[in-house]
Structure 1
Amino acid sequence: MALTDRRRVNGPALPTSIPFYDTPAPAPTVSRSPTELRKIFLKTSLTPPASGSAFYELTPPSTLKLTTSVYGPRPLPPSAGFSPTARVTAELKFAPFSTRGERRGYVRDGLERELSLQLQIAISGMVRASAYPKSGIDVFVTVLDCEGRIEEMIGVDAAEGEGERASLGAMQVLTGAITCASTAIADAGIECVDLVAAGMAALVEAKDGKDMVVMDPSPLDGWQVRAAVLVGYMAARDEITLVWSRGEVGVEEFTGVMESAVEVATKVRGVVNDAVRERLVALLKARGKKEGKKAITEDVEMTG
């Protein structure tokens, strides 16, 4: 007679399927005016081990949430060659549960590599790299939740599958990642020439058949998007660090959409300024309390 291990919990003999409950996505409806921007929640210093960090969220019904951690400046590995300036690297990764439908893998795919490259281009211009020779600054962005389906397409014939292979949701993710990464770099105390804020605008088809420009478009608004433009903009220097467009439009239409995207980035810059200012005030108050307590202790010791 075979002995059984009473302490072991044996699994089922036959394979079982785990129940999965998925709430259907709400039907897209246009609930904002073409010039109305969504509210942004931006908070710094939420990841203690990192040199700087930030959390970015768009207010409901939008679902975009992402976090950024910055490490550095830190010495480059001995195997790396000499660099007179700092090397800024950026990596964007979707969490497995961040998108609707199928779960994303743990290995970066083509879209994540493309967004990481665009993010690195956008934020490299803001860092005063000459102040950190032989150093590296690593920026990591994790997307916790994103809007719509990342694999949707933009273009006139998107319904037939002939549009650009980048969705409005993917561009919105990059917009939030640039703004959040810029705030996290400032939170890390890294010297910068300016702060970068990202903005996006789109050319959509209205109900009357005419085209119009929409600021800060969302996949949840239900617009029929013809083209979209994303810019990374440094307002103080009046300098554009990144232009990323999808769709096919004329030169005049593209110029109008790009100017609207710059206007959105200028308004988002105010949110970045408030977040950095709030963090700076908190640091100054903490330092003042610490120095005041130390001074009182020294005075007591001296009188004693």
Structure 2
Amino acid sequence: MLTYDWDTSPAKRVSEPQFYGFIPDKALPRAVCFLSMMSLTFAHVLLLTSACALLALTNPNWLLLFLGVDMGIFYLYKIVRGDFFYWLNLAGFLRFITAILSRFGGKFMANFTMIMQGRHPQEMDGLSFAISVLTSVVGSFLSVYAYSNYYDEDEKIDGETLQTTLGSLVSIWFVSAVTFALVIKREYLHTFYSMETASAYNRKNFLHHKEDQDDKKKGVLSLHPDVYKAWGEELIKPWTIKNWNRWEEEKPAWFTDKWIEAVPNEYIPFEWRVKYKKTKGRVDDSQLQRRRGSISVRELVGGKGER
């Protein structure tokens, strides 16, 4: 289970302690947490797939309406909050298409697998994830009502069987959800209903790492600039300007040509911009991108990109 593996990963817990770590550390609570996750996922998936099947039998258009409205509300929510575009560092039309596909894929996966990674602020966020989970329960009641009242074929599942099955699955879902909420670490409960955007999350994560944890902070500059544009001048620029000379002297493993290329020009000390020959004064972004695409920073300096 990806959620379990990632949440218990020491590397993940160190790099993003604000998000990873909800699973208890002791053996018994961890086992209970794992079992409740499994049973909750089981009930969720069966509720939603059964709802889709009943709606498809009753009227396929109702199924399309149910799924379309659910997806449309999610897209609208992301757009209104300025959190629609994905965190990958892409530009132009490719960025737009990637946002559409990635948001669709993330929402679809969360709906039909209940993968809890979907609550990450760079994916759906906690509130959207919680609504997707609740949709399975609401949709199951609506589908049973629609099937019982509007499906006219001779071979039809009787209402008592549907209600018994629905009641059993909802009971499993409810007990599992309550057990899960009680056993996880309390400080992570908010991640399951948080409205935190990708930008706000990365700012908090950047601030969490200490002054000497450059290897943890550096990851933010591999994201799209929109993720940090609201606070980059305030936090990232002073950090890079202050430490650039030291990085050039110490040459840490992560301080590579590829990473340097992702750093906005204004976040690099002027003397190093000159040495890299990125500008000879200043160039616009399109010229800079052409240069970056044709030759590495180290080669411009005169080296061969060796570390």
TM-score of the two chains, using structure 2 as the length reference: 0.23
In terms of fraction of residues, the more strand-rich structure is: 1
Q: Which has the higher contact order (CA 8 A, sep 6+)?
A: 2
Q: 1 or 2, which has the higher helix percentage?
A: 2
